[in-house]
Amino acid sequence: MEIKNIAIIGLGYVGLPLAVEFAKHRPVIGFDISAKRIKELNQGHDPTLEVSDEDLQAVLVKHPFNENKGLYVTDSLMNIVDCQIYIIAVPTPTDKNNRPDLTPLVKASETVGKVLKDGDIVIYESTVYPGATEDDCVPVLESISGKKMNEHFYVGYSPERINPGDKVHTLTTIKKVTSGSTPEIGQEVDALYKEIITAGTHLAPSIKVAEAAKVIENSQRDINIAFVNELSKIFNRMGIDTLEVLEAAGTKWNFLPFRPGLVGGHCIGVDPYYLAQKAQEVGYHPEIILAGRRLNDGMGAYVAGEVVKLLLKAGKPVKGAKALMLGITFKENCPDIRNTRAIDISNELQTYGMQVDIYDPWANTEEVKHEYGIEILTQYPEKDGYQAIILAVAHNEFREINMQIHKQNGVIIYDVKGILPKEMVDSRL
């Protein structure tokens, strides 16, 4: 049986690991519109750290299709013309009003539509609401190519399950949901992913089912975290330590081990809005989903308010006070700053007239400047001078900081992630 060439459209947190794994078995073209990204990858380095330099360099090839496997990365449309399978893995963000923004998905579909041939298969991995693939993407493919789905080309959907920064639950070890526009194509898409997914696959009966399965995964987590965030607010007023309550409750076998915190990133903090948007389009107002989103989106401002209260109780002036926030990425031990909610703490503290410095050894300073318009510290400030320290992200490096010195100097310490000893902090979420 002929081995089909694969083109991966979008080489970010999802697309690159996928391209590297397939390149161990087949010829793969990795396509991205960012010339900077292509240059970085051709130099054998992935700044997102999702793929190690060793693994990337092991599959990189200098010319496409010269061998029966390997990864060739490019920003040239001409290099993907000879592929038969196109996997689209681009971001699906929301706009400033939290409405789904399908622009990257539409643009990627236009790109593939320009090279689409009879018999080709287009597989989408981007998280969307049920119906987006067939109702929003396929019409673009058909319009640009002049071809018809299930007559000339076929479509599949296999939602990504990448967990940025997680070196245990990686691409190949997480079961993959697959689907196709016909039963036969579903089987082919499923067989394709079985080549690289050691955890196995689950062939969904339709594309819409696969889309819905993905979007509720993160919506479920969002709602559960919102619940414990609300518990944290309640127990704080009662003078009860939330983490101690969760530890006690966790002794029951079926208690779910969620912890309070900031909910950002490209998935959990975004995907529920996609489901909510579709629900409203079909005439249903989703109450629990949006309530969870409102609560979680407000946690940064809540933390800032708690820090201000602690300063006032300690008799320290708020206006003009200096605070050090540790961490700006959306999660620990990961350089991803997309949709981080840590920035909300800083922004809210500044509305009180406070000066906020941010230090994060994982974040790229240029990316932070571009995304949020702020300069962050490039090294940990050894000298004190701060009235408050907020541990916003649980990077391993922050566990090594001697907080005892700051505590002795009267610095207010707030631990969002609950990783410091209780006696070392003034409060924690």
Distance of CA 298 to the CA centre of its chain: 19
Catalytic residue chosen out of the listed positions 83, 137, 267, 334: 267
- Torsion angles phi and psi, residue 60, rounded to 5: -65, 135
| Percent of the chain as helix, strand, coil, to the nearest 5 | 40, 15, 45
In this structure, what token pair is assigned to residue 147?
Answer: 């071809």
Tell me the CA distances in angstroms from 204 to 189, 277, 406, one per residue in order. 11, 23, 54
In this structure, what token pair is assigned to residue 136?
Answer: 């929003």
With CA atoms as reference, report the closest residue to 415 among 394, 390, 383.
390
With CA atoms as reference, report the closest residue to 268 among 210, 227, 219.
219
267 is catalytic: yes
User: For the stretch 383-403, what's the b/e string if a residue is b when 16 or more beta carbons lie within 10 angstroms of its beta carbon?
Assistant: eeebbbbbbbbbbebbeeeeb
With CA atoms as reference, report the closest residue to 330 among 164, 198, 104.
164
How far, in Å, CA of 271 to CA of 334, rounded?
A: 20
With CA atoms as reference, report the closest residue to 128 among 90, 163, 71, 165.
90
How far, in Å, CA of 363 to CA of 127, rounded?
A: 25
How far, in Å, CA of 277 to CA of 261, rounded?
A: 25
Inter-residue contact 7 to 74 (CB < 8 Å): no
In this structure, what token pair is assigned to residue 256?
Answer: 């779910």
How far, in Å, CA of 82 to CA of 84, rounded?
A: 7
Write down the H helix ranges in 114-150.
132, 138-145
Inter-residue contact 170 to 164 (CB < 8 Å): no
The set of catalytic residues is 267
